[in-house]
Chain A
């Protein structure tokens, strides 16, 4: 049978539906907004179709990732270069190509004459939307946390990811791989064993391959990445070794010699490695408890430079700390603080008596006393 011809959505309905969709996507709707949304949906089946169709295509659009530019900064620079800053509504944008009757609203009450093929096509879109949504949701999805928010995710294979504040990961699972990209921040991975599918975490230039282990990856805004192994072992490589296939390492294989990373480096429980660019160094006496203290809502500093302390603080507070005096960036701080009560850290810094604080509306500036 031939495919039913799908009628185009009218410009007005498309405008309205996409605006509603963005409001939900942004999470900005209050009670009144949701009431309006339901009222809008109940106005016409065409509204229902438009909204479900947009949802379906939004789920589908996850495939854009395959062709999306890798470099976020470049993408932003490209966008900022564009001088045509005001987005045109579809009314203007598609005036030339839109069908002549596009602006005619369907009657508010569905009539018996609502074209059968329109309903059929919409049903197809609806069915595709539901199933595509499910598939992409479980197989290719991005998870994010905001300031002061932590999440625990259980993935399809039973692996558990604890996501620290201000962090983002992208998960791509299929029949032969479990790929995770740490886009920003920090996550602790408890990997379920699956010999057929290696578990691979990428953080910028750094890749970590694992089998049935527990490890923490922290990708700092500064570009440095720290990998800490809590249980079992992992193999760490940098971009420089990307051509080398990264084989997950069985925890039973002993690997005691600490060595500089040149090719994949094996890390066992209790070890930690810091990667900056293509240079990687094993940390001499790592404190694994400190590295994973955030999962217990604690932050531990051990001779930590102030600049890193500030980065940490800023993950949990909307009001950001800003160092205005470069001379104090390297001052080292030690202590255990609660991540749910960040005033404890601020008070701790105050008690040191070494710093001067200037409180502004959106930030706290910190300088030498």
Chain B
């Protein structure tokens, strides 16, 4: 990925400021989707502004750079290996969190069904999933720092 990060310095800040401004009623009705919509608008507008001030820059430059990361087979393989390694770590340290993650994310199994199959409460299953999410995040941070 080129210098996309350096080119997009104020994005999160802007998403945050818009979240502060927006109408409560609308925000609350569909809050998560609203966050994504705001973020996507900010990103899009930024790309437009960038295209307007930069020579030879295409609106879709950033997009295509990033998209390349996810369609290039070599990069994808690298990503699969990274997640495989992190998944193994989670499997060894917290098998239940790992099973919950795989069943929910990859098999599409509803959390209710997972709790029945594991023989634990529904709220415990949610804790397992949150544990898995935290683990992924920390490990990805570590691998990012190692690079």
Contacts and interface: CB of A to CB of B under 8 A. Distances in A.
A24 B32 contact: yes
Interface string B47-72: 00000000000000011001101110
- Interface of B (DSSP majority class): helix
A276 to B, nearest CB: 22
The 10 closest A-B CB pairs, nearest first, are A142-B108, A124-B5, A123-B11, A79-B99, A67-B84, A123-B8, A87-B131, A45-B16, A122-B12, A18-B133
Interface residues of A, number: 90
B80 A72 contact: no
Interface in A49-91: 49, 51-55, 57-58, 60-69, 72, 75-76, 78-82, 84-85, 87-90
Given A1-B6, A6-B144, A66-B84, A90 B138 contact: yes
Interface in B3-31: 3-6, 8-13, 15-16, 19-20, 24, 27-31
Contacts, number: 240
A116 interface: yes
A135 interface: yes
A351 to B, nearest CB: 33
A3 B147 contact: yes
Interface of B: 1, 3-6, 8-13, 15-16, 19-20, 24, 27-32, 35-36, 39-40, 43, 62-63, 66-67, 69-71, 76, 79-80, 83-84, 87-88, 91, 94-111, 117-120, 124, 126-131, 133-138, 140-142, 144-145, 147
Interface of A: 1, 3-6, 8-9, 14-15, 18-19, 21-26, 28-29, 31, 34-35, 37-38, 41-42, 44-45, 48-49, 51-55, 57-58, 60-69, 72, 75-76, 78-82, 84-85, 87-90, 93-94, 97, 110, 114, 116, 119-124, 126-133, 135-136, 142-144, 146, 168, 170, 183
Contact of A48 (B9, B29, B35, B67): B35
A101 to B, nearest CB: 15
Q: Is the interface of A mostly helix, strand, loop or mixed?
A: helix
B123 to A, nearest CB: 10
A26 B121 CA distance: 14
Nearest to B140: A57
